[in-house]
Amino acid sequence: MKHLSEHPGPIGVFDSGYGGLTILHGIRQLMPEYDYVYLGDNARAPYGPRSFDVVYEFTRQAVMRLFEMGCHLVILGCNTASAKALRTIQQRDLPQTDPSRRVLGVIRPTAEVIGQLTHTRHVGILATEGTIKSQSYDLEIAKLYPDIQVTGVACPFWVPLVEYNEADSPGADYFVKKRLDQLALLDPDIDAIILGCTHYPLLMPKIVKYINPGIRIVPQGGYVAESLRDYLVRHPEMASRCTRHGTVEYYTTENTEKFNESARLFLHEEVCAHHLTLGDEG
């Protein structure tokens, strides 16, 4: 482990792919004054089908790299990493590495807000297979709101639709409608649906097209951003370790040109990423 700087640094945002850019976008919209570093492990994506052990190891490598880059606070802008790696990193790695550093996920902030967004107390989750199988949302929501019934459906083709720029295609209609119909069949009383994958907001026009009127769609970006702002207010010692020059840097384990092109889909702005390697890949 390299020496970790005690100087203030940027806020790190990590994802296995591009979806975490929707989280970064939400955070920057709310707190543009801070500096950010985004790291996408695109060369080893997707994490969804991988085992807990592999996701933990890959996520740990990314978090440690962001620490080395000066981040004192890292957001796992990835539901799979939040579901399969966050708790172990918080409980096992941080006490050994640097107990003053923090790693936060995207599942709890969304779980915290859902109680205010459902009247029927029936909530749906649309996510990757890994996130659904982990039951992380079910467990977090049950802790906070034991009266809420949660029903999850895995949407295995939704991420490729987004990443291959097919989100607006007629073919996307079939896959989106199929999963929404499946969820409605499992629980007709659902009145709020969490988009439990950071890619899914890019399918919002299709989702709205096939969803029953009156059902609330809950993307994560804004809620994670509000939760982070609240966290920094409650922890001024961490806020003081986060630099504020309004900058953002992007890093990818994949080809930088490919990353820049795909990032434009998520951010609607030009980015210029740097390449790095994690672990033994590349």
Compute CA 109 distance to the chain's CA centroid, rounded to the nearest angstrom: 11
pLDDT tens readout for residues 100-138: 999 999 999 999 999 999 999 999 999 998 899 999 999
What whole-number distance in Å separates Cα of residue 85 and Cα of residue 63?
Answer: 11
Residue 201, Cβ density class (10 Å: 0-12 exposed, 13-18 middle, ≥19 buried): buried
249 contacts 38 by C-beta, under 8 angstroms = yes
Q: Which of 78, 155, 242, 272 is catalytic?
A: 78
pLDDT confidence of 282, banded at 50, 70, 90?
very low
- In this prediction, residues 91-103 reach a mean pLDDT of 95
Catalytic residue status for 78 = yes
H or E stretch including 216? Answer: strand 216-218
pLDDT tens readout for residues 33-82: 999 999 999 999 888 888 899 999 999 999 999 999 999 999 999 999 99
Mean pLDDT for the chain overall: 94
Catalytic residue status for 71 = no
pLDDT tens readout for residues 3-34: 688 899 999 999 998 999 999 999 999 999 99
Q: What is the DSSP letter of 242?
A: B
For residue 49, say if its preceding peptide bond is cis, omega within 30 degrees of 0. Answer: no
pLDDT tens readout for residues 199-245: 999 999 999 999 988 999 999 999 999 999 999 999 999 999 999 99
pLDDT confidence of 1, banded at 50, 70, 90?
low
Q: Residue for token digits 């990423």?
A: 273
Q: Residue for token digits 């291959």?
A: 164
Q: Residue for token digits 């107990």?
A: 99
- In this prediction, residues 144-159 reach a mean pLDDT of 96
What whole-number distance in Å separates Cα of residue 8 and Cα of residue 18?
Answer: 26
H or E stretch including 265? Answer: helix 256-267
Q: Which of 71, 155, 197, 242 is catalytic?
A: 197
Percent of the chain residues topping a pLDDT of 70: 98
Q: Can you give the pTM of this predicted structure?
A: 0.92
